[in-house]
Amino acid sequence: MSSGNQQPVGDGLVKWIDTRLPVFSYLQKEYAEFQSPKNFNWFWNFGAILTFMLVMMILTGIILAMQYQPNTMLAFDSVERIMRDVNHGWMLRYMHANGATFFFIAVYIHMFRGLYYGSYKNPRELLWILGVVILVLMMATAFMGYVLPWGQMSFWGATVITNLFSAIPLIGDSIVTLLWGGFSVDNPTLNRFFALHYLFPFLIFGVVVLHVVALHVSGSNNPLGVDPKGPQDTVSFHPYYTMKDSAGLAIFITIFAFFVFFAPNFFGEPENYLPAAPLNTPAHIVPEWYFLPFFAILRSINFDVLFIEAKLGGVIAMFGAIFVLFIVPWLDKSPVRSAKFRPVYRWFFWIFVLDCFLLGWVGGRAPDNLVFEGLNLKVIHLGWLATFWYFFHFIILLPLLGIFEKPKPLPKSISAPVLGGGSAAASATAKPMEKA
């Protein structure tokens, strides 16, 4: 960053600081004057919501850590003590536990938004990739956090997930022993998960900073997916979007608060209120809802593929389901960003959303359960179908649609009336004067 060529902002102390460390002019430039497309819809609220959730998770987490004991003998009771004896402990813990759920709700909406409006396309590929990195770190953080209360689901979830690595040929078992620090999930495991659970949110914070820096280089995408052509297409971030973001955030927090105060265990698993019992597996092990689609993909590969055993195949498919998100910018060959102008992709997008819900549903049910009496249709069959479609969508459909789909005509600019015929084309050339 070059120094000195920017006029310091404010006066008095603010100016004194800004001349020496240009934080205020940075804020002014990147968060106040920052030009954003004027046509954002409510789906553009989720960035602000996610930032808020991250800060809230870190705050409640640090306060919980002051009372929590990362030791197998004490962990469960220390969480119960937080719930019963610590002032407001129940609220802080319910905020943290439900916060993870709402964090994931927000991040999934944020990502589906990106998929619908083509926000991952040139020049925002790296921005998208950083987002997927954040998702992966969030998953690791939430997984390790869920182990901390040391209930039955904590213990068995940790056992099943760490055992996934044993599927890796040759070195798998050594990796699992290394993760555990012993011969099973035990005290060393709990200890290191706590250390890492404390660390990872700060890594996430770092990647979020990079994510936002990348955003401020390329600028935001918008519901039409066409670049702003000039000042008539944008508004300054403050006060327009600071206000809109605040309004959306208030609604989101209201819903969040409803669950914290009136249904705090709605997303939870009663089994996790039983202390971990290493010799006694609960009848149904289910992960938290936000992992269910991936869990379903893991379990759907219950057959060997060539020389790859079912167990390894499931693990590859599950990690593949996340990995494929990294390469979406190169799988989707269509030059048009917004699904608004992609008549075929638009349908497949919604089918894909349904597919993800179907995977989530499958992930929460025992594979051999019948879906319909009469028909011999089992949950696992739907799992196969939904898993197939997940990969088919990304690997086959996206590239093919880019070639065969005929997009609708794009508006010449954000301000130009959509599909306004001749006048739209005319006004595009007269861009500096245009106001619509």
Partner 1 sequence: MSDDTQNHDGHSGSRRDFLYLSAGAFASVGGAIALWPFVDSMNPSADVLALSTVEVDVSQVEVGQRVTVKWQGKPVFIDRRTEAGIAEARDTPLDDLRDPETDEARAERPEWLVVIGVCTHLGCVPLGQTPSEPRGEWGGWFCPCHGSHYDTSGRIRKGPAPLNLPVPPLAFLNDTNIKIG
Residue 368 contacts which entry, ligand HEM, partner 1, none (Cβ below 5-8 A, type-dependent): partner 1
Catalytic residue among 216, 311, 378, 431: 216
58, 86, 344, 371: which one contacts ligand HEM (CB under 6 A)?
58
* CA-based nearest residue to 414, from 272, 159, 260, 222: 222
Which residue, among 289, 211, 278, has the nearest Cα to 51 in the 3D structure? Answer: 211
146 binds, among partner 1, ligand HEM, none (CB under 5 to 8 A by kind): ligand HEM
In the residue annotation, 288 being an active-site residue is answered as yes
In the chain, what is the straight-line distance between the N-terminal and C-terminal CA atoms, in Å? 37
Residue 182 binds which entry of ligand HEM, partner 1, none, CB below 5-8 Å type-dependent? partner 1
From 233, 245, 269, 434, the catalytic residue: 245
Q: Which does 156 bind (CB under 5 to 8 A by kind): partner 1, ligand HEM, none?
A: partner 1
Residue choice 49, 50, 95, 97 for contact with ligand HEM (CB under 6 A): 97
Q: Which is nearer to ligand HEM, 53 or 164 (by Cβ)?
A: 53
**Beta carbons within 8 Å of 167's beta carbon, 6+ residues apart:** 309, 311, 312, 314, 315
- Measured from the CB atom, the residue of 8 and 367 that comes closer to partner 1 is 367
Provide, rounded to whole angstroms, the least separation between the CB of residue 149 and partner 1.
19
Q: How far apart are CA 346 and CA 338, in angstroms?
A: 9
Alpha carbon of 347 to those of 116, 337, 341: distances in Å? 10, 15, 12
Tell me the closest approach of the beta carbon of residue 156 to partner 1, in angstroms. 7
Q: By CB under 6 A, what part of segment 137-166 binds ligand HEM?
A: 138, 141-142, 145-146, 148-149
Catalytic residue among 25, 119, 154, 220: 220
CB of 266 vs ligand HEM, minimal distance in Å:
12
Among residues 18, 269, 288, 434, the one annotated as catalytic is 288
Residue 310 or 324: the one with the smaller Cβ distance to partner 1 is: 310
CB of 309: closest distance to partner 1 in angstroms?
5
Taking alpha carbons only, the member of 209, 70, 90 closest to residue 148 is 70
348 binds, among ligand HEM, partner 1, none (CB under 5 to 8 A by kind): none
**CA dihedral (358, 113, 46, 215) positive or negative:** positive
| Partner from partner 1, ligand HEM, none binding residue 30, C-beta < 5-8 Å depending on class | none
**227 annotated active-site:** no
Among 9, 49, 57, 321, binds ligand HEM (CB under 6 A): 57
Out of 40, 44, 102, 103, the residue judged to bind ligand HEM by CB under 6 A: 103
Least distance to ligand HEM, CB of residue 102, Å: 10
Give me the catalytic one of 244, 311, 378, 431: 244
Smallest gap from residue 223 Cβ to partner 1 (A): 43
Q: Does 61 bind ligand HEM (CB under 6 A)?
A: yes
Q: How many residues bind ligand HEM (CB under 6 A)?
A: 24
Q: Is 244 a catalytic residue?
A: yes
Report in angstroms how near the CB of residue 49 gets to ligand HEM at its nearest.
14
**Distance, CA of 225 to CA of 333 (rounded, Å):** 15
- The encoded tokens of residue 56 equal 């809230």
- Which residues are near ligand HEM by CB under 6 A? 57-58, 61-62, 64-65, 68, 79, 93, 96-97, 100, 103, 138, 141-142, 145-146, 148-149, 197-198, 201, 204
Active site residues: 216, 220, 244-245, 288
